[in-house]
């Protein structure tokens, strides 16, 4: 009887531990940074932005504003490898409130499993990076992070 009870108890602890591990994200910032840095060459590091993604029942759109300057050449590197579900990365010339905005990059054509993106920016006045986060109807509380690195030369 005692054995059955303890087996049940261990089972409960295991299930609890498993769901807890699933609920935490796997955002190893150092590894992600080093990976982006390799793709940044020969551009010089300027800044980076980690964006924590917490999947919700509704789809979300998160935006990052990146100021750029005339005459400079820029490269953007994204890494989405720590995400449990793919997030679409789009780069625009204007913010999401603007009707005139133009998409200059989208990750929609990436092959499945590809999670590192390199984009050399054409001449623009400002950059708006949008992360289109899909809805998650499960109760797993999925989360992860996206890193964007900006370089210039």
Task: List residues binding other proteins (CB under 8 A).
Answer: 2, 5, 9, 12-13, 16, 20, 23, 29-30, 33, 37, 44-54, 56-58, 60-67, 69-72, 95, 123, 125, 141, 148, 150, 152
Question: Quick one: 108 or 123, whose CB is closer to other proteins?
Answer: 123
Contact 142, 136 (CB under 8 A): yes
Question: Quick one: 100 or 111, whose CB is closer to other proteins?
Answer: 100
Percent composition of the chain: helix, strand, coil (DSSP 3-state, to 5): 25, 40, 40
Q: Which residues pair with 54 in a beta bridge?
A: 143
- How far is 55 from 12, CA to CA, in rounded Å? 26
- Contacts (Cβ under 8 Å, ≥6 apart) of 42: 153
Could you tell me the smallest distance in angstroms from the CB atom of residue 47 to other proteins? Answer: 5
Could you tell me the smallest distance in angstroms from the CB atom of residue 82 to other proteins? Answer: 14
Question: Quick one: 30 or 99, whose CB is closer to other proteins?
Answer: 30
Question: Quick one: 109 or 121, whose CB is closer to other proteins?
Answer: 121
**Neighbouring C-beta atoms of residue 130, cutoff 10 Å:** 20
Could you tell me the smallest distance in angstroms from the CB atom of residue 8 to other proteins? Answer: 9
Task: Please return the burial class of 106, using the count of CB atoms within 10 Å of its CB with bins 0-12, 13-18 and 19+.
Answer: middle
Single out the residue of 108, 87, 85 nearest to residue 25, CA to CA. Answer: 85
Could you tell me the smallest distance in angstroms from the CB atom of residue 111 to other proteins? Answer: 27
Question: Quick one: 53 or 83, whose CB is closer to other proteins?
Answer: 53
Could you tell me the smallest distance in angstroms from the CB atom of residue 109 to other proteins? Answer: 24
């Amino acid at each position: 009887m005692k054995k059955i009870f303890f087996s049940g108890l261990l089972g409960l602890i295991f299930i609890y531990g498993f769901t807890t591990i699933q609920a935490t994200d796997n955002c190893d910032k150092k590894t992600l940074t080093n990976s982006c840095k390799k793709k940044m060459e020969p551009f010089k590091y300027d800044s980076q932005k980690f964006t924590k993604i917490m999947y919700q029942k509704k789809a979300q759109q998160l935006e990052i504003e990146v100021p750029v300057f005339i005459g400079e050449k820029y490269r953007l590197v994204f890494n989405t490898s720590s995400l449990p579900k793919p997030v679409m990365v789009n780069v625009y010339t204007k913010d999401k409130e603007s009707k005139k905005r133009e998409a200059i990059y989208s990750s929609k054509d990436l092959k499945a499993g590809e999670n590192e993106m390199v984009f050399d920016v054409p001449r623009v006045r400002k950059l708006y990076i949008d992360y289109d986060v899909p809805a998650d109807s499960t109760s797993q509380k999925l989360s992860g992070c996206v890193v964007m690195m900006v370089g210039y030369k």
